[in-house]
Every structure is written in structure tokens, then in C-alpha cells.
Structure 1
Amino acid sequence: MHSSERLKGLDVFVAVADLGSFAAAAERLNLTSSAISKSIARLEGRLGTRLLHRTTRTLALTEAGITFYRTCTSVLADLEDVEQALKAEGDEPHGKVRIDLPASFGRLHVLPLIMDFIRLHPLLQPHISFSDRFIDPLHEGIDIVVRIGGPDTWPEGLGHQYFGAQRLIFCAAPAYLARHGAPTSDRDLEQHHCVGYGHSDGQVSPWFFKGRQPGEMERRTPQARIAVGDGEGEVAAVLGGHGIGQLPTWLTQRHIDQGTLVEVLPDLATNGLPMNLVWLKSRENLPKVRALLDYLLPRLAPHGTRQAD
């Protein structure tokens, strides 16, 4: 099949999927409903599969339709990007760029950088989402991702740059330590109230301890008196005097400096999960993606944001 044949009907299919009806798609594309229907039928015939479930009242994508829709929107967005880049004066970054960030680290340390970047490049339209789960940028079509943790080896279609490991410290509020005393060893932690990171399945994230061999890491799950499924929520619980937490310096340093949190067991401070900037290789040379990557890379740091030299 000639490559130009493959592009026929993609815009019609996307319009129908987006708007949920042939009539609405016909109005948007200035075509008749009959022309829309025939275009979809030709596309389904060419692919040999149904893309839409049609009843008298509803229109829904089939499983194949959902998969094909993701690809179509990606292809059409790439074409639009290239057209805009060719029309644009020079390589000024512009257009939509999708970014997914870890919830707390993203809000506190990456979002301000992106805000600064779009002040410099007002034609850019960032679409920013926040999630702590591991997402697959290839499958979900996300241009740039910041991740804490992740796979040991990244899929071939992704570029990535390590920018450090979280520095984890044990800390508590002065009021908690005044009531319960400070622990003097890791075994003392078993006698203290602990604040942990809780997942929606009821599990609590383990705490990290240095292993017996250099570079070795031991994980132990605390008996959490309170478990909170959000980093800033964990800090709030520790600030409120509810126990000792093991938290990254990017969340705690400000409170340590202010004296509202106190580090305990400093000899047990350790590095935790690796932190990476990840991107789709297929889109890394688009001006909008390249410019944002070049801006973020020298400014991301495991303790928070650093200024580029």
C-alpha cells in the first residue's frame, strides 16, 4: 500500500472518536454525514477490523479502535509539529509538549522550572500531569517524564539521563522528640511511632538502610503508626509530631533549616532511589522538546532544584 493511502481517513476517524458522532464530525470537517460514514467504512475495510461500535444512540471505540486512535493522534500531532516548525521563524519552541512528573517532587521542584521556561518561550503549551506510578511514555505518548525509581534498563525508544539519587534522612518534629526522646540506633526505631509512605493497596514502602557491604542496601518495612500516600502529606504528619519519618532532603531541607524538623540518626542517612529525566527519542529533536530537555537537565538535582552554571 502506498504510504499516502495510509493517511486517508485518519483525520475523519479522530474527529468521530473525539466528538462521539458522525454528525458532529461532519460539521467540524465541513463534510456530509454520509461522507464521514463511507470514510470510516473504507478505513475499517482497509484495516480488516471494526474501529467503532455503533448503535442507534451511542458510538464507542472498540479495543482495536482505542489502539488505532492513540497512534492516529500521535501521527497527526507529529505532522502538525513538523508543519509548524517549518513555518516558524527559526527554531523557537512552540506547540504542545506532554510532561509527566512525580507528584510532590514535580510540584515543588520541576513545575517552577517549567513555569520559568514558558516565560522565556511563550509559544510553548505544556500539558503537565502528575503520577507516582511508573508510566510507559512510549505507550502513553508522553514527551518528557521525570521519574524517581524505575527500571534498571530503559526501553530502546527512550532516552534518559540520571541526575542523582534521593538523599534520605530520618527526622522528627521537636515536640515529638521532647515527648518520646531521640533514637540512638536503628533498633530504637522499633520502639518509636513511625510515619510511612502508604500505597492504595494497603502496603507501606520500606525504609532504606546501609547494608553490611559498601554500596549494599537493606530494605525494612516500618510498623507505621500512620501511613500517607503522598510525600507532602508524610511531611505534614511528621511536622504534626506523629512520629519519625524517613524522607528525602528535597522534601525536608527547608523545614530542617527552619528548625521545624530535626534530623535524627544522621549516621543512617543514605541514598535511596535513582532519579532520571526520561524522554521519547522519536521526538527529542523537535525544537520544543529539545529546548525543554536542555533547560531541565542542568537544573534538576536530587535535593531539589539547582541553578545552572
Structure 2
Amino acid sequence: MTIRDTLFGDLALLERVVTTGGISAAAAALGTAKSSVSARIGALEAQVGARLLIRSSRGTRPTPAGERLLEAGRRLRAEAEAALAAARGDEGALAGTLRISCPVGMADAVLVPLLASFLAQHPALRLDIAATDRIVDPRQEGIDVAFRFGWLRGAELGLVARRIGTFEGVLCAAPAYLAGAGGSLRQVDDLGRHAWIGYAGFGGERQTLLLTDEGGKRHQVALTCRVRTSSAIQVRDWALAALGVTRLPLMLIEPQLAAGQLVRVLSHCRFDGPSLYAVYSRDRLRPARVQALLGHLQIRRAPREVEAGSPTAFSR
């Protein structure tokens, strides 16, 4: 098969279509005609001899053939960048774009300092950050490293995860909510009768919380969500609005606790706090910039690498 001169550009275009969610969005981002993008993708599919994209009302995603071609394209671009660096005589320098996704809010609190120090070491490197509370599959969306905050779930099966850090969790509520609900919580059994502000990462409308009291006894509390959201920031804001009791990482609510806007409940109990993970595809030909970032995180936070989906990957 003859390799067209435009292959590199076509592979980059295919990735742009997948990451933006469709041909129209890719055309708008590139400032070109939709017909031009469609024609180039059609020509690439004709050259491969297979469909590369599946279009539906929920967006555009790659077919299995498309996924294989996307992965190959990323490796080719990484090798090309390494060849350019070698030609310039700076084999040790990292260049190109590192694409990551992270939860909204956590980027500010945890990741920005880590990533800023990484960029300071590699001035030729660029970051493209998608801050979203949506669960992103790096294999389908052109993401090099996806950060997860909370507890790993089935969505990470087949990926690799590194635990960057574990954070202290706090049960809390607004004083106004507690006053309206009959005062502060004193017994674990009381918790199940209160309105619960749930994080979608912990389950559906019915959620379970495992608590250990001061005597070492374990309690399993069934909770019914009055509000459930995929954003940890919104969980905090709903708690401030006096809608119920919730659990949050201490780092997200320290100012509100200090100001008395939120108060701890059942402070004599403890539970496993959420963790921050770096999640990425298992690929022995991982680009050097991804390997460098993972190494940087390991030095800074001493993370532990686990196979996502294994029992050791879950903090429950």
C-alpha cells in the first residue's frame, strides 16, 4: 500500500475529530469547512479499507480499527518528535503536547503545583488540560494521562493506575441544616435518617458508607441521596446550602470549616479518604513525555502503580 504524503496530517485530523466529538466540531476548531474534514476522513477510511468512526446522537467515537490507527498515529508522532530532538542535539529534552484530563477543582488544589514544577523542568513541553468531572477513557479520547479523584471503578478496567496521594475525608454539614434537622449527629445510627448529598462516583441514589468508631467497631450505613452530583465542588456547595450531610476531602473544605460555614459530624469516627490516581493506557511504547510525567509524580508523591480493576486498586 502506498503511503500518502498527507498521512501524518490525516492521523492528527482523525484524533481531532475524536477528541472534539465530531466532524463539525473539528472543522470549527480548525477553522475549515466541514466538507473538507469529511472528505479527508473518507479518504483515510478508503485507504485503510475499514470504517474508522461511529457517529451517533451521543457523538463520534472510533471503531476498533480507528482505535488501532489512533494509537499507531500517537506513537508515530512521538517518534517523529524524538527524531527532531535528536537532530537538534537535545535528545534529553521533552517536546510536544501532553494531553491530560482531571476533575474540576482538583486541578487547582493538587495538580497545578505538581504540573507547574514538571513544566519548569521541560520548557519545550506543552500541556493541553481538559478539566471535566466526566469519566474519560484515555484510549478513546486521545488523552495521555487521565486523573481520577475518589475510588476506582469498572470504567478503569484494562487501564493502569498510579495512586498519587490519599486525602483525609470529613463528614460535614452546615449548622443551618443540623439546626433544622434536630441538632448535631451523635450516633452512627442517626446518619441514615438524614438527607445525604452524594457524589456520583460513590454509587447511585442509594449509597453505602463504611465507618469505624473510636472502639474499632465497623459500621455500614445505608444512605439515600437527596442530591447526587458528579462534581466534588458541587457536593461542597450543596452542603453549604444546608441541603444535607456529606463526605468531602478535608483539603476542599478547610476554609469553610474554619469559618464555621460547615461543621464536622461524627468526628469520633473515621473512614477511608479518597485518593488521586493517574490512569493511563498500558502501552510499552508510551511516549517519553508521559513516562517523564509519571516519573515526576512518583518522585513528588511516591505513588503506587496498580492494575486498575484489581482489588488493590480500590480504597473501600
Normalising TM by the smaller chain, what interval?
Answer: 0.5 to 0.7
Equivalence for 1:266? 267
Equivalence for 1:149? 151
Q: Please tell me whether residue 75 in structure 1 is matched to residue 72 in structure 2.
A: yes
Equivalence for 2:279? 278
Confirm or deny: 8 A CA contact 1:171 1:262 kept in the other structure. Answer: yes
Alignment partner of 1:218 out of 217, 220, 230:
220
Equivalence for 2:99? 98
Equivalence for 2:23? none
SS in 1 for 2:254: helix
Q: Please tell me whether residue 114 in structure 1 is matched to residue 115 in structure 2.
A: yes
Distance 1:283 1:103, change over 3 A: farther
1:279 to partner: Cα distance: 2.5
In structure 2, C-alpha distance between the alignment counterparts of 1:269 and 1:38, rounded to whole Å: 57
Counterpart code for 1:80: R
In structure 2, C-alpha distance between the alignment counterparts of 1:11 and 1:24, rounded to whole Å: 16
SS in 1 for 2:186: coil
Distance 1:140 1:222, change over 3 A: same
Counterpart code for 1:184: R
Equivalence for 1:241? 242
In structure 1, C-alpha distance between the alignment counterparts of 2:126 and 2:219, rounded to whole Å: 41
Aligned length: 273
Instruction: Give the structure-1-normalised TM-score.
Output: 0.67
Confirm or deny: 8 A CA contact 1:16 1:24 kept in the other structure. Answer: no
In structure 1, C-alpha distance between the alignment counterparts of 2:93 and 2:108, rounded to whole Å: 26
1:184 to partner: Cα distance: 0.5
In structure 2, C-alpha distance between the alignment counterparts of 1:149 and 1:138, rounded to whole Å: 20
Structure 2: state its 5+ residue gaps: 18-26, 55-59, 304-316
SS in 2 for 1:90: coil
Distance 1:68 1:193, change over 3 A: closer
Write out aligned runs for 1:243-258 (5 A).
Answer: 243-258=244-259
> Residue by residue, what CA displacement relative to the aligned partner does 1:5-63 show, whole Å, maximum 9, x if unpaired?
485574475478666879847xxxxxxx9xx899758625xx3x45699xxxxxxxxx9
In structure 2, C-alpha distance between the alignment counterparts of 1:124 and 1:113, rounded to whole Å: 15
Write out aligned runs for 1:1-309 (5 A).
Answer: 5=1, 7-8=3-4, 10-11=7-8, 13-14=10-11, 24=36, 43-44=47-48, 47=49, 49=50, 66-88=63-85, 89-147=90-148, 148-151=150-153, 158-178=159-179, 180-197=182-199, 203-204=204-205, 206-210=207-211, 218=220, 220-224=222-226, 226-282=227-283, 286-300=287-301
In structure 2, C-alpha distance between the alignment counterparts of 1:127 and 1:69, rounded to whole Å: 22
1:185 to partner: Cα distance: 0.8
Counterpart code for 1:43: Q
1:130 to partner: Cα distance: 3.4
1:232 to partner: Cα distance: 0.9
Structure 1: state its 5+ residue gaps: 26-32, 54-62, 303-309
Equivalence for 1:306? none
- Pair member with larger Rg: 1
Instruction: Give the structure-2-normalised TM-score.
Output: 0.66
Equivalence for 2:20? none
In structure 2, C-alpha distance between the alignment counterparts of 1:297 and 1:10, rounded to whole Å: 36
Output the aligned Cα RMSD: 4.3
SS in 1 for 2:119: helix
Distance 1:286 1:172, change over 3 A: same
SS in 2 for 1:145: strand
1:235 to partner: Cα distance: 0.9
> Residue by residue, what CA displacement relative to the aligned partner does 1:246-287 show, whole Å, maximum 9, x if unpaired?
222232234324443221101222005554222334267533
In structure 1, C-alpha distance between the alignment counterparts of 2:155 and 2:228, rounded to whole Å: 30
